[in-house]
């Protein structure tokens, strides 16, 4: 039996160091998703394949990032985080290097699969490790870790755009890909898992189980599949806006318009990408922290209803340059919280021992949601995003209602049943 705690630290020592390392690694994979939309139009301008065909690469990235994550997370739970993140770093650097030389759609698709595997290895490991180190503050810890992924691209939006403009998208792929992969490789050397389960509750109102459920046990519970459905409903709208923001701005006719906010001036797209990624990152620890205090379902209801309003507002008011920045920022802020709320809720319900694998299985819902991204290009082929954004708003409203009327009582019943079995 392999020693899954090899090279670990005492449970209460160094958890903030581990949290910081995890965040750094997450920042280094952020561009693989949130920087992708900067490349779509330049790739299309060079090869004329059509945006829908190019966006298949985005869907492949998300699918492999998510659907293979349970396997990668199983290796983390069994052997520890260091080796898995090292492999992820190599794949991240390799993928964008391939993109820099790609001259056909199949090659872009292969690179997307490689980058998805690498990003999933890093993402699942870092979130799972945070869930294990921080028990009573799982929402906040998962949120801070996921914030690195959500906000990490903000610092490189302007540099990537400048490199693309001055040297072409191929150079941007190569330079940033190699740098991101190298930093992940270095940071991975310092990752460790806690030596034992940390069961001390440091605050919050959420029930925590005394026993841990195996992945197969989790898959047999209706609670898991309800969370999976809700995850898909909320993630689909957010992923569509994330992947298509540049296209939406272009179809609204404002992508290169100049705006000034809080004394800063820039083009609409550049401004929006920086603001949106920062807000997306802030949403994860913010709503995670709130959920540690008022409850997961209550926080979901608030966030999902706000997200519905944000998507509606993007269509109604987003044709104005300033309002586009504001409303797209609200969309990013009110959908990123799913990456802290759902992993925390999953681990609350099913325990810490298999936290990385169980949260990884739930995270595959993001891959399911990604299948809708190319469909959005079909629905909006004439530049009309009304139908897409209104469907996204409706899905958020339904998910918000499910959180309070179905998820909340189901999770309470699951906790009571689990406590009875433990006794």
What average pLDDT score do residues 340-351 get? 89
Spatial distance between the Cα atoms of 29 and 367, rounded to a whole number of angstroms: 16
Question: Given a cut of 90, is residue 377 above it in pLDDT?
Answer: no
Spatial distance between the Cα atoms of 270 and 172, rounded to a whole number of angstroms: 16
Burial class (CB in 10 A: 0-12, 13-18, 19+), 48: exposed
- The per-residue pLDDT of the chain, averaged, comes to 85
C-beta of residue 80 within 8 angstroms of C-beta of residue 129: no
For 319, phi and psi rounded to 5 degrees? -75, -15
Q: Hey, what domains does the chain have and what are their CATH numbers?
A: 15-422 (1.20.1250.20)
The tokens for 417 are 């049943």
The tokens for 164 are 């693309």
Pick 136 or 115 by higher pLDDT: 115
Q: Under DSSP, is residue 194 helix (H, G, I), strand (E, B) or coil?
A: strand
Helix (H) or strand (E) run with residue 288 in it: helix 268-294
Question: Given a cut of 50, is residue 8 above it in pLDDT?
Answer: no
Spatial distance between the Cα atoms of 147 and 340, rounded to a whole number of angstroms: 9
pLDDT in the model for residue 5: 44
User: First-to-last CA distance in the chain?
Assistant: 29
Question: Given a cut of 70, is residue 261 above it in pLDDT?
Answer: yes
Spatial distance between the Cα atoms of 395 and 389, rounded to a whole number of angstroms: 10
Cα pseudo-dihedral 347, 353, 359, 364, rounded to 10: -150
Q: Where residue 418 falls among pLDDT bands split at 50, 70, 90?
A: low
Pick 34 or 289 by higher pLDDT: 289
C-beta of residue 184 within 8 angstroms of C-beta of residue 84: no
C-beta of residue 42 within 8 angstroms of C-beta of residue 166: no
- Count CA atoms within 13 Å of residue 183 on its CB side: 16
Spell out a b/e string for 287-303, using b for 16 or more CB atoms within 10 Å of the CB, else e. bbbbbbeebbbbbbbbb
Spatial distance between the Cα atoms of 381 and 71, rounded to a whole number of angstroms: 37
**DSSP secondary structure of 77-90:** HHH-HHHHHHHHHH
What average pLDDT score do residues 109-134 get? 90
**pLDDT tens digits along 381-406:** 666 788 888 988 999 999 999 999 99
Instruction: For residue 44, give Cα distances in angstroms to 49, 60, 315.
Output: 6, 18, 25
Indicate the pTM of the whole model. 0.74
**pLDDT tens digits along 135-159:** 767 788 888 888 888 777 777 877 8
Q: Residue 58: which of 245, 303, 220 has the closest Cα?
A: 245
Question: Given a cut of 70, is residue 416 above it in pLDDT?
Answer: no
C-beta of residue 377 within 8 angstroms of C-beta of residue 238: no
pLDDT in the model for residue 196: 58
Question: Given a cut of 60, is residue 4 above it in pLDDT?
Answer: no
Give the lowest-confidence range in 81-90, 193-202, 206-215: 193-202
């Amino acid at each position: 039996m392999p020693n899954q705690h090899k090279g670990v630290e005492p449970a209460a020592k160094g958890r903030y160091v581990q949290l910081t390392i995890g965040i750094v690694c997450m920042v280094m994979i952020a561009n693989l998703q949130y920087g992708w939309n900067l490349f779509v139009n330049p790739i299309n301008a060079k090869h004329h394949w059509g945006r829908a065909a190019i966006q298949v690469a985005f869907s492949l990235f998300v699918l492999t990032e998510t659907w293979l994550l349970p396997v990668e997370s199983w290796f983390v739970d069994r052997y520890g985080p260091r080796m898995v993140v090292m492999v992820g770093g190599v794949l991240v650097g390799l993928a964008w290097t391939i993109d820099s030389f790609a001259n056909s759609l199949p090659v872009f698709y292969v690179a997307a699969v490689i980058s998805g595997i690498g990003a999933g290895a890093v993402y699942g490991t870092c979130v799972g490790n945070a869930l294990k180190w921080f028990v009573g503050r799982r929402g906040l810890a998962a949120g801070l870790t996921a914030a690195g992924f959500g906000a990490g691209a903000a610092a490189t939006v302007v540099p990537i755009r400048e490199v693309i403009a001055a040297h072409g998208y191929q150079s941007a792929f190569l330079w940033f890909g190699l740098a991101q992969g190298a930093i992940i490789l270095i940071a991975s050397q310092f990752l460790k898992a806690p030596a034992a389960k940390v069961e001390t509750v440091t605050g919050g109102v959420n029930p925590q189980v005394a026993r841990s459920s195996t992945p197969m046990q989790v898959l047999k519970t209706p609670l898991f599949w309800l969370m999976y459905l809700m995850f898909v409903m909320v993630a689909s709208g957010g992923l569509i806006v994330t992947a298509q923001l540049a296209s939406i701005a272009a179809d609204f006719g404002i992508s290169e318009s100049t705006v000034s906010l809080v004394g800063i001036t820039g083009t609409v797209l550049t401004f929006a990408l920086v603001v949106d990624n920062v807000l997306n990152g802030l949403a994860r620890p913010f709503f995670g922290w709130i959920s540690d205090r008022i409850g997961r379902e209550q926080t979901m209801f608030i966030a999902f209803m706000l997200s519905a309003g944000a998507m509606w507002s993007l269509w109604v008011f987003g044709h104005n340059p300033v309002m586009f920045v504001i409303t797209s920022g609200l969309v990013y802020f009110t959908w990123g919280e799913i990456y802290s709320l759902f992993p925390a809720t999953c681990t609350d319900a099913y325990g810490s021992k298999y936290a990385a694998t169980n949260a990884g299985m739930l995270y595959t819902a993001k891959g399911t949601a990604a299948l809708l991204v190319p469909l959005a290009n079909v629905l909006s082929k004439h530049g009309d995003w009304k139908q897409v954004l209104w469907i996204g708003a409706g899905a958020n409203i339904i998910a918000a209602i499910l959180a309070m009327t179905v998820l909340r009582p189901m999770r309470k019943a699951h906790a009571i049943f689990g406590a009875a079995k433990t006794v």
